[in-house]
Structure 1
């Protein structure tokens, strides 16, 4: 980095190298402030953190931030079993009344005790926007505080959705916050970041998009059970975790190789050979179930307010083309038409004949039938995350080949995150298509899978309005029969494909890379930093 810095300041680098050099200089400036103690773990996450409210967005980075400083009432282990986390529960004989009891020793980061009223307020804020919570709350007769340690949820009818929702891994987990913060409208970002979780957010060191610092919460009392996914003991064994923003992936890998950072959350597939086989670096897929990638239409405005046009766009894109551009190595990907994930109990192949391969002639015929008039398609294009930058390029090329007019809008991912909720017309700064990915661990049912909510403007970004899907989701929530649930899921798959609610683009696994000085790195669908130790050498 010193050589780059000298030549950059002297203006003697070739123009083509100056972008890399600038990134290296930025990285060296940030790393200069990193605490050099062995008990500091320095991390490069998928992008720089700017959106801080984990209830306001479904973005994975904000979710990961949430797991650092907040805790959840319930947790899920690697066998998908639900366990007490902040609270235990009992249920009445008729399965309609759940009583939750907070465990001893829970404190907010400002020193105040965690109370039942905080949890009730947090549940209500989460449920007002979450795809699971929105279906759950009409099934709730009452939610009330009993005393400081207990609260009660009375259901109108039995459902498994209460425990499933409160233990939700992603994307939005039901994080608990102090009542004064949780009473913030779910449409308004919170401005105070106080939780009861294993780390504390260090406000004074926060540099949006560049640096986030978390310190060990010395008041946190871990559970005694073995840690698994989001359940069990969240034991912090380092003093600090620092997230350093490095938009240039090569700079990040160089920093890992030089010992300047300890952990890279996502390694671009084309750069894997640089770190594979090294004695001082471990490359590992920590989420063994993997992820699926997809794109979403804005159903509110032309041209995708027309179902035929949505189907045309879906028929135009080949999954294999997307996966080759995104991953390249077939050891890390496979095509899949299932909106709830191939390999999951609700997997279904409906639509495979025209949404896995490209069907350009079908797309062109559908556009003709729909009388597509050349309305531009505004396609959001994140440029700073390797796992998200390839999809829009391939999608855009395929749409043009089918006859669409496409307007690519390059921006960083955190800007895409803020744009997702923009319901203005594309001509007024809105959008028509964006692509992203979700973890398969939470996509296997119609509630954990955020893309399947279809209640119009109350739904997640894209705002599909398909009452039949909403009726089926409610039916699924009320069912306790696995065979019946599978049949309901099959009906939802068909509607989701036919109505263009979501376009699956295939499945893949994401490798992480980290220094062998780290031990205790957990395999989990979400990136967590409890239980990690760092050796001096």
Structure 2
């Protein structure tokens, strides 16, 4: 948590223009003409966007790889690597043809065999891919440029799934890379996208470099979100790793970096005063905040204890602590994000305001006897740490015995995978956030996947009725039927509470005024950007 003295120290540092960016002279390189320097929210550790679902790896993946389809700014799918496609009358066979000019960065042509191997790997890793795998009867190459996906039953959402920009994304790799063990990350970084990863200049903890791919042939359509022509107007993009917010703010104000991807909320008012800096939103949907319980162990294996979380918590308390000024956040009880195409709040009206008496009653009915519960969190991401403190205080009011434990973010995310009890190093609760693009659809929302057998995301909820209703959304033949199915699913989720929705917030980004062309998308994109 950033204390008041620490906050004022950061502000003073920025206002005084301290903390200049000075890379070691030994690493100095002759700079290309048009270079965009960006302070990203995290360092890049994993290169494989099919293995890891973290945002920084997804950003990296979208720099160097492409997908068959791509979502526009309204999250609608459009052909990307695909030139044309057709569907059989019964909906059980889809044929796709790749667009001409697709080449990997090593010069190899992109073939149907690369696509099929890549999709199989994705289906083994991702929530959306797993749903496609349930429907898929087989895939086969017609020739090097065409392939067929055969289905067991119709899936009208297949293009949406193949364009997924959330979770582990379905990027197309070389067949040799895609055929490796899906449980191990690919360490090569050879795609066919608009940028090339410059491994020689990669410095872990300091810098990640991407060069324009001179062989890339963009689509003809105008850029819209991830869809359309990915026209690169820069020679190079450099991610400069700056974990200290005062350093990043000073570097932005002095022009030593061009973009700060996720500025500290404390410093937004300060950097926004400069005529040379613009603070804006780039995501098309707000992000979601959640309190995630572990469904494997008492008390949260009982839905009454999970309902107690909903009755005990006030979204405003969390969001104000995490994100300050209300211009950046709003209350919302929808699992699928207010303002999105599926943003229903059906069945949640009882949770709009805390009801501590009902919360205490439900907690007692669940059989909870005051056992110690571990709420695992971090201050590495300051809003999450502050909201964890609010969670601990809120839950203590109704009788939960909360042990709030802080660690670095890497330790927290590693511990989240532990399915054991607290005595075995496990956990009971954590606060986290997820992008609106991830949470806006029943197909992509990782938190509402309640597939039994431990197949769901950390917390491992299991509810066969919710999964039946989620399947009905995928099976829906048209948008009207899909809306109806989504509302029925949402009512069930409100009853069983896979997690407590804590509202939503907008994450601003900051840029120098001379940078233009930012696209609305689930993650920050670097094609279409211009810098004189």
| 1:101 partner SS | strand
> Residues 252-271 of structure 1, C-alpha deviation per residue, up to 9 Å, x if partnerless?
11111111211011123332
| Displacement after TM superposition at 1:383 (Å) | 2.0
Q: State how 1:495-514 maps to structure 2 within 5 Å.
A: 495-514=492-511
User: Where does residue 60 of structure 1 map in the other structure?
Assistant: 55
Count of aligned positions: 519
User: Where does residue 488 of structure 1 map in the other structure?
Assistant: 485
Q: State how 1:126-525 maps to structure 2 within 5 Å.
A: 126-456=122-452, 457-525=454-522
Q: More deviation in 380-389 or 169-178?
A: 380-389
Instruction: Assess if the C-alpha contact under 8 Å between 2:450 and 2:462 holds in 1.
Output: yes
User: Where does residue 51 of structure 1 map in the other structure?
Assistant: 46
| Displacement after TM superposition at 1:389 (Å) | 3.5
Q: 1:59 to 1:333 in 2, by over 3 A?
A: same
Q: 1:378 to 1:490 in 2, by over 3 A?
A: same
User: Where does residue 6 of structure 1 map in the other structure?
Assistant: none
Instruction: Assess if the C-alpha contact under 8 Å between 1:119 and 1:179 holds in 2.
Output: yes
Instruction: Assess if the C-alpha contact under 8 Å between 2:286 and 2:337 holds in 1.
Output: no
CA–CA distance in 2 between the matches of 1:31 and 1:354? 61
Instruction: Assess if the C-alpha contact under 8 Å between 2:72 and 2:521 holds in 1.
Output: no
CA–CA distance in 2 between the matches of 1:311 and 1:383? 27
| Displacement after TM superposition at 1:120 (Å) | 0.7
> Residues 256-294 of structure 1, C-alpha deviation per residue, up to 9 Å, x if partnerless?
111121101112333211122422111111124222211
Instruction: Assess if the C-alpha contact under 8 Å between 1:59 and 1:417 holds in 2.
Output: no
| 2:266 partner SS | helix
CA–CA distance in 2 between the matches of 1:58 and 1:344? 21
Q: 1:191 to 1:223 in 2, by over 3 A?
A: same
Q: 1:185 to 1:299 in 2, by over 3 A?
A: farther
> Residues 310-369 of structure 1, C-alpha deviation per residue, up to 9 Å, x if partnerless?
222232221000111122222222111111122334333345444333333322222222
User: Where does residue 67 of structure 2 map in the other structure?
Assistant: 72
| 2:375 partner SS | strand
Instruction: Assess if the C-alpha contact under 8 Å between 1:268 and 1:387 holds in 2.
Output: no
User: Where does residue 3 of structure 2 map in the other structure?
Assistant: none
Instruction: Please report the TM-score for the alignment, with normalisation by the length of structure 2.
Output: 0.90
Q: 1:246 to 1:31 in 2, by over 3 A?
A: farther
- Runs of 5+ consecutive residues of structure 2 not aligned to the other structure: 1-5
Q: More deviation in 107-116 or 33-42?
A: 33-42
| 2:511 partner SS | strand
User: Where does residue 80 of structure 2 map in the other structure?
Assistant: 85
Instruction: Assess if the C-alpha contact under 8 Å between 2:461 and 2:498 holds in 1.
Output: yes
Q: 1:476 to 1:214 in 2, by over 3 A?
A: same
> Residues 190-230 of structure 1, C-alpha deviation per residue, up to 9 Å, x if partnerless?
22222211112222333334432222222222112111111
- Runs of 5+ consecutive residues of structure 1 not aligned to the other structure: 1-13
Q: More deviation in 150-159 or 179-188?
A: 179-188
| 1:398 partner SS | helix
Q: 1:414 to 1:28 in 2, by over 3 A?
A: farther
CA–CA distance in 2 between the matches of 1:27 and 1:420? 35
CA–CA distance in 2 between the matches of 1:175 and 1:506? 31
CA–CA distance in 2 between the matches of 1:32 and 1:386? 34
Q: More deviation in 369-378 or 322-331?
A: 369-378
| Displacement after TM superposition at 1:86 (Å) | 0.9
